[in-house]
Chain A
Amino acid sequence: MTMRRRVHRILWAVLAAGAVLVASAPAASAHGEASQEAFLRMRTVSWIDTTFSATTVKQGETFTISGTAKILDAWPTNLAKGNPNTGYIGLIAPGPVVLLKERTINGVSAPSRIDVQKGKIYEYSMTVAGRRPGKWHVHPAFSVKGAGTLLGPGEWITVEENPDGFDNPVTLVSGGTINLENYQLPFTWIWLVLTFLIGLAWMIYWTVPKRTVTNLAVTSQIPLNTDGMDYGLITKKDHRNMNWFALGTALLLVAGWIYQSAAFPDKMPQQIFQFAPPDPAIASAPVFATVGLGEAEYDSATQTLTVQAQVTNTGDTPMNLTQFTTTTLKFATGTTPGPGVMTVSPSPTIAPGAPAQVTLTMKDPAWETERLVPIGESSLLITGVLVFEAGGEKNYTELQANLTPRFE
């Protein structure tokens, strides 16, 4: 009994340890992006002005996700060999709970993958339809070949059941509309099940009327390349019946082939599109803002990130620093510190001429809940995009700041 008691004690100890391990952070609202290294999330793709046109739709109803994604010049050398060249702007969702119906990148229709480059800007707009009723966290995402998928800011989308029903119509070039939700499903099932039943019939033929395991007594005594006809293992009747099976299967395939040729005379191979979208207007906007390498500090007691950087206005008119954005976080310039707010001192307005030293303060629990403070990672770097506005023009200027960790 001592052994059993010991086992019980160990079990309880493990359970208690497990419970301690288990009681930690907030409820699930993310998609696992928190597990990606912070410094990599920040220095790969920045998301500016991500907008969801609606957060509640019915099945079949559409909403739009739009914004600007920039592949940063700071893109690290260890991802995609430092040279991102193929990308895909898409969605992160818990499965096909929504459907991607339309996508434009820099104003042109973009059905699938695009040529990408470090430093380029992509103004995307995706039309998304609700499909599966429920509440889902949906993000825009930028996948880069050889690197992986970078997630933008997400939003809770509620898809309500549509009392009129839901389908997904697609227009064929030959005319006619099909419902992609169940097109050809009955035929596909029938075909798969029918071929399966033929196989099952073949197996039943051999295993039900004939014994199996007892055959070993005979087969172990005859050569491998004989069918044992002399001993009744395989009979002439078996040969004939199997010929009928093979013939029947062949006829079924012929019938199937004739069916598909007649029913679907126009066919083509799957299509590949890859092109470089044109540059957006902002790519050729006059550059008036430059930012030097910054210094950052993070205070975990107040959950505040402070960045000091030198900003230079090389234009003619004063420029305003309106926001800082990094991966899924956006901080708009404001005066009252708080989540989503960046206070700029001495002032967010920077006069043209001499470089100005600015201090950016961002107090937000999201730094920790999103695990974006790279302490413990192999690069102590904060990266993001500062948005400057002057004379109706915008500059998306990259900011990199070395983070000084505090080890107390």
Chain B
Amino acid sequence: MAVDSKTLELRALKDKQYRWIDRKWDAVFWITAAFVVGAAADITKQLFAGDWDFWTDWKDRQWWPIITPFAIIIIGSALQYIQWLAWRFPTGMTYTATAMFLCTLIGRWLQWGAFVYYPMNFVWPATMVAAAIFADWVLLKTKSFVLTSLIGSILFSVTWWISNYIPMAAFLQPAQWMDRVVTVSDIQGIEYVRSQTPEYLRIIEHGSLRTFLGETQYVSLVFGATVAVAGYWVGQFIGRGLAIWPIGRFMKKW
């Protein structure tokens, strides 16, 4: 098949060597951007879903799966747009997830662990990385942000929950304590004194008259996935409106 000249030109352009642009520019970009990306993702997670992320006794089956995927997909979605648009890399969500993991880990270990001395098995952070891999994979396959927002967000939410339920499971075991049977995470929550966070502040499953034969978990997962779709588009607005739109645009002189 004959290849047109534009294609040949772009192929050559892709491999073109430059006088002043070497790999150091790439290194500086990826390493320095990781700080702001990880921090943006971390602060969004902390202030929208932080309490559920800080403590095992908040990681319930009703609120945690609804609130957290929404909070964490936002910045990843923005980065997906930016990195696909600029480099054609399906890496935005994974980049955000790995940068955020480092930020969260440093924060959790250095502050919650080393400063206030909560045991790390009580305050371990949820991971977003496995979910991010699937979201980026969907973008690579579909090349479409609309499809990624639907299929990718759903896969993202479910994968996120599975990848964090696995480490959480052990803390949901029933244990004997104070004449009651409670979960291991409940015991952590009461024994490891949190002076300014009395137990009644927990926003977790309280029970309701409608739980569809005990299927609270699945209702929350499905709803969480749809809320994540909304979060994905919030992220798209950030990427398109705040990161890309300003390029080369100026206000009138003042």
Residues of A within 8 A of B (CB): 31, 86-88, 90-93, 95-103, 109-113, 132, 141, 143, 145, 149, 168, 170-174, 178, 180-185, 187-189, 191-192, 195-196, 198-200, 202-203, 206-207, 210-219, 221-222, 224-228, 230-234, 238-239, 242-243, 245-246, 249, 252-253, 256-257, 259-261, 263-264, 266-274
Other 4 A-B pairs with CB < 8 A, given A245-B137, A270-B182: A183-B121, A183-B184, A242-B140, A256-B163
Partner of A100, one of B25, B85, B137, B191: B191
B200 touches A86 (CB 8 A): yes
Chain A residue, CB-CB nearest to B34: A203
Residues of B within 8 A of A (CB): 3, 7, 10-11, 13-16, 18, 21, 23, 25-26, 29-30, 57, 60-61, 84-91, 94-95, 97-98, 101-102, 105, 116-121, 124-125, 127, 129-130, 132-134, 136-137, 140-141, 143-144, 159, 162-163, 165-167, 169-188, 190-196, 198-202, 204-207
- State the CA gap A272–B186 with chains docked (Å): 9
Contacts of A217 in B (CB 8 A): 13-14, 16
**What are 10 A-to-B residue pairs whose CB atoms are below 8 Å?**
A91-B193, A112-B199, A173-B173, A181-B121, A184-B170, A196-B101, A215-B14, A215-B89, A264-B169, A269-B205
Contacts of A221 in B (CB 8 A): 10
A213 touches B159 (CB 8 A): no
Chain A residue, CB-CB nearest to B10: A231
Chain B residue, CB-CB nearest to A173: B174
Partner of B133, one of A31, A97, A249, A267: A249
- State the CA gap A100–B177 with chains docked (Å): 12
Partner of A111, one of B166, B190, B207: B190
B129 touches A184 (CB 8 A): no
Contacts of B125 in A (CB 8 A): 192
Task: Say whether chain A's binding surface is mostly helix, strand, loop, or mixed.
Answer: mixed
- State the CA gap A398–B24 with chains docked (Å): 74
Contacts of B180 in A (CB 8 A): 109, 111, 271, 273
Contacts of B105 in A (CB 8 A): 192
Known pairs A103-B178, A202-B94, A269-B205; A170 contacts B184 (CB<8 A)? yes
- Chain A's nearest CB lies how many Å from the CB of B158? 10
Chain A residue, CB-CB nearest to B178: A111
Known pairs A100-B193, A253-B130, A268-B172; A191 contacts B186 (CB<8 A)? no
Contacts of B13 in A (CB 8 A): 217-218, 231
Contacts of B192 in A (CB 8 A): 96, 99
- State the CA gap A143–B202 with chains docked (Å): 13
- State the CA gap A226–B27 with chains docked (Å): 26
- Chain B's nearest CB lies how many Å from the CB of A239? 7
B133 touches A198 (CB 8 A): yes
Contacts of B16 in A (CB 8 A): 214, 217
Chain A residue, CB-CB nearest to B129: A199
Known pairs A213-B26, A266-B173; A88 contacts B199 (CB<8 A)? yes
- State the CA gap A183–B122 with chains docked (Å): 9
- State the CA gap A311–B116 with chains docked (Å): 48
Contacts of A227 in B (CB 8 A): 88, 140, 143
Partner of B143, one of A185, A212, A225, A252: A225
- State the CA gap A175–B105 with chains docked (Å): 33
Partner of A149, one of B101, B137, B187, B195: B195
Chain B residue, CB-CB nearest to A127: B178
- State the CA gap A174–B141 with chains docked (Å): 46
Known pairs A149-B198, A211-B23, A269-B183; A253 contacts B166 (CB<8 A)? yes
Closest 5 CB pairs of A and B: A88-B198, A143-B198, A260-B169, A199-B129, A256-B166
